[in-house]
Structure 1
Amino acid sequence: MLILLLLLLLLILLLLLLLLLMLLLLLLLLFLLLLDAAIFTYAEKVTITPCLHMKKLLPHRSTHDILSTLSRRSLDA
């Protein structure tokens, strides 16, 4: 009887350890997702492409409209 109780206690401890390990892995995943979001946000602030410049100059037009206007102007010149 005592051996069964010890085995049951050992099983419970192993399950708790497994649960703790799963929680640590979830926390690590959350940290990696936050780190990825921070890097992406930083990259968005640093990288300024000509397309973004045009969007600031002409905010109400789509990228397709801007590019077609520029290509027509270059053909007219």
Structure 2
Amino acid sequence: MAFLNAVLAAKGMDLDAKGESNEQLRGHNPSYRISVQTDGKLLLGSAYTKKMNLQPGDEFEISLGRKHIHLSKVA
């Protein structure tokens, strides 16, 4: 096992690492596109809420642009 760990370390791989590099490998990157669900709702995924540091109960003002929907966080 020590030999295999040394080989992995030489290749720059650490299977026991617990850091930001492993966090970035999980999941997928947000595409910044969402679709309207069959019930007419827009579902904003957790990738977006984490990136915007949103908390449960945060409120937004919705404004319609020519081609976009803008969400502005209410302070």
- The alignment's TM-score, normalised by the length of structure 1, stands at 0.23
- More RCO (CA 8 Å, sep 6+): 2
Task: Name whichever structure is richer in helix by fraction.
Answer: 1
- The structure carrying a bigger strand percent of its residues is 2
Query: Highest Rg: 1 or 2?
Result: 1
